[in-house]
Chains A and B, each alone.
Chain A
Amino acid sequence: MYDSFSVLVGGKAGDGINEAGNLIARLMNRLGYRVYVEVDYPSLIRGGHNFSIVRCAREKVGCRTDRLDVVMALNDETVERHAHRLGGGGTLVIDTGSVKGVAPDEAAGPEAGEPDNDAPSGSTEVGSGSSGAAEQGAEPKADKPQADGERGDAGRDDGRIVMGVPIAAILKELQAPPVMRNTCLLGAFCRIAGISWEILEDTIRQHIPRSLEKNLEVARRGYEAARQRETLASLDLPALPVMNGNEAVGLGLIRAGCTAYVAYPMSPSTGLLHFMASVADDCRLKVVHPENEIAVILMALGMAYAGERAAVGTAGGGFCLMTEGVSLAGQAELPIVIMVAQRPGPSTGLPTYTTQADLHFVLNAGQGEFPRLVVAPGSAEEAYYWSAVAMGLAWRYQTPAFVLADKAVCEGSYSIDIDALPPLPEYDVPLWDGVSPYRRYARPDDPGAAGTAGAPDDVAAAGTAGESGDASTGAPADAAAAEPVDVPGDATAAGTAAAEGSTAPSAAVPPGVSPLAFPPLPGEIVKVDSYEHDELGVTTEDNTETVLMEEKRVRKWCALEEEIDRLEAVKVRGDADAPTALLCWGSNGSVCREVADELGLRMVQPLVLSPFPTRQFEEALDGVERLICVENNVTGQLVKLLRLHGFDVDDAIRRYDGRMFSLEELTTGVKEVLQ
Chain B
Amino acid sequence: MSDIADLDISGAGSRRPQPADTDGDAAPLTYAENTWCPGCGNFGILNVWKTLIDELADNGVPRERIVVVAGIGCHAKIADYLNLNTFYSLHGRTVPVATGIKLGNPELTVIAHAGDGDCYGEGLEHMLFAAKRNIDISLMVHDNGVYALTTGQYTPTSPRGFRGKSTPGGSAEQPINPLELALAGGATFVARSYSRGAERLRQTMLDAVLHKGFSLVDILQVCATFNNLYSYYNERTFDMDDNDPSSRTDALNRIGEWTYGGDGRIALGTFYRSAADTFDGAFRDIDRSSFDREAAVRDLLARRV
- A residues near B (Cβ < 8 Å) are 26, 29-30, 239-243, 247, 251, 254-255, 257, 259-260, 262, 279, 282-284, 286, 288, 290-292, 294-295, 298-308, 310, 324-325, 328, 332, 416, 418, 437, 472, 518-531, 533-539
Contact = CB atoms under 8 A, between A and B. Distances in A.
B85 A286 contact: no
Nearest first, the 6 A-B pairs at minimum CB distance are: A302-B100, A306-B104, A299-B100, A298-B96, A520-B64, A303-B104
Contacts of B303: 241
Contact of A242 (B16, B300, B304): B304
A529 B79 contact: yes
A294 B93 contact: yes
Interface string B286-305: 11100101101101111111
Interface residues of B, number: 59
B278 interface: no
B297 to A, nearest CB: 5
Select the residue from A241, A262, A295, A518 with max chain B CB neighbours within 10 A.
A295
Interface in B78-130: 79-80, 83-90, 93, 96-105, 107-108, 125-126, 128-129
Contacts of A284: 286-288, 291
Contacts of A520: 62, 64-65, 85, 107-108
Interface in B260-305: 283, 286-288, 291, 293-294, 296-297, 299-305
Contacts of B23: 437, 523
B17 A299 contact: no
10 contacts: A240-B305, A284-B291, A295-B129, A303-B100, A305-B87, A305-B101, A527-B85, A527-B88, A529-B79, A538-B30
A536 B25 CA distance: 14
A306 B66 CA distance: 12
Given A299-B97, A305-B87, 20 more contacts: A26-B305, A243-B301, A254-B297, A255-B293, A257-B293, A284-B286, A286-B103, A291-B126, A298-B89, A298-B90, A298-B96, A299-B103, A302-B101, A305-B101, A306-B105, A328-B90, A520-B85, A525-B85, A527-B85, A527-B88
B169 interface: no
Nearest to A324: B90
Contact of B100 (A305, A535, A537): A305
A295 B297 contact: no
B22 A525 contact: yes
Given A308-B104, A539-B32, A291 B302 contact: no
Contacts of B129: 290-291, 295
B60 interface: no
A535 B17 contact: yes
Contact of A525 (B84, B286, B293, B299): B84
Interface string B148-182: 00000000000000000000000000000000000
A251 B301 contact: yes
A307 B88 CA distance: 17
Nearest to B85: A519
Nearest to B109: A520
Given A241-B305, A243-B304, A306 B64 contact: no
A295 B279 CA distance: 15
Contacts of A523: 23-24, 64
A290 B103 CA distance: 12
B67 interface: yes
A521 to B, nearest CB: 6
Among B31, B79, B88, B296, max chain A CB count under 10 A is at: B88
Contacts of B72: 530
Contacts of A306: 67, 100-101, 103-105, 108
A290 B291 contact: no
Interface string B195-219: 0000000000000000000000000
Given A241-B302, A298-B93, A418-B297, A525 B98 contact: no
A209 to B, nearest CB: 11
A535 B16 CA distance: 11
B99 A536 contact: no
B24 A524 contact: yes
B62 A522 contact: yes
Contacts of A533: 88
A521 B297 contact: no
B101 A254 contact: no
Contact of B96 (A294, A310, A522): A294
A537 B86 contact: yes
A437 B17 CA distance: 12
Contacts of A255: 293-294, 297
A292 B107 contact: no
Contacts of B98: 302
A324 B93 CA distance: 10
A291 B88 contact: no
B88 A251 contact: no
Contacts of A303: 100-101, 103-104
Nearest to B104: A306
Contacts of A518: 105
Contacts of B96: 290, 294-295, 298-299, 302
A556 B134 CA distance: 39
A279 B80 contact: no
Contact of B286 (A262, A279, A286, A528): A286
Contact of A288 (B62, B85, B103, B291): B103
Nearest to B126: A295
B79 A301 contact: no
A262 B104 CA distance: 12
B54 to A, nearest CB: 15
B130 to A, nearest CB: 9
B304 A301 contact: no
Contacts of A302: 69, 87, 96-104
Contacts of A292: 125
Contacts of A531: 88
A294 B99 CA distance: 13
B121 to A, nearest CB: 14
Given A283-B296, A529-B88, A437 B22 contact: yes
Contacts of B301: 241, 243, 251, 416, 418
Contacts of B103: 260, 286, 288, 299, 302-303, 306, 308
A78 to B, nearest CB: 27
A169 to B, nearest CB: 33
A537 B19 CA distance: 13
Nearest to B280: A286
A305 B17 contact: no
A301 B300 contact: no
Given A416-B301, A437-B19, A538-B30, A530 B88 contact: yes
A521 B102 CA distance: 16
Contacts of B22: 437, 524-525, 536
A539 B80 CA distance: 6
Interface string B214-255: 000000000000000000000000000000000000000000
Nearest to A424: B294
A518 B32 CA distance: 22
Given A302-B99, A529-B88, A534 B17 contact: yes
A530 B93 CA distance: 11
Contacts of B79: 527, 529
A538 B96 CA distance: 21
Contacts of B87: 302, 305, 332, 527-528
Contacts of A298: 89-90, 93, 96-97, 100
Contacts of B296: 254, 282-283
A613 B294 CA distance: 29
- The winner among B16, B100, B125, B302 for most chain A CB atoms within 10 A is B100
A242 to B, nearest CB: 6
Contact of A259 (B69, B101, B128, B288): B288
A260 B32 CA distance: 34
B294 A286 contact: no
A301 B85 contact: no
A243 B301 CA distance: 8
Nearest to B32: A538
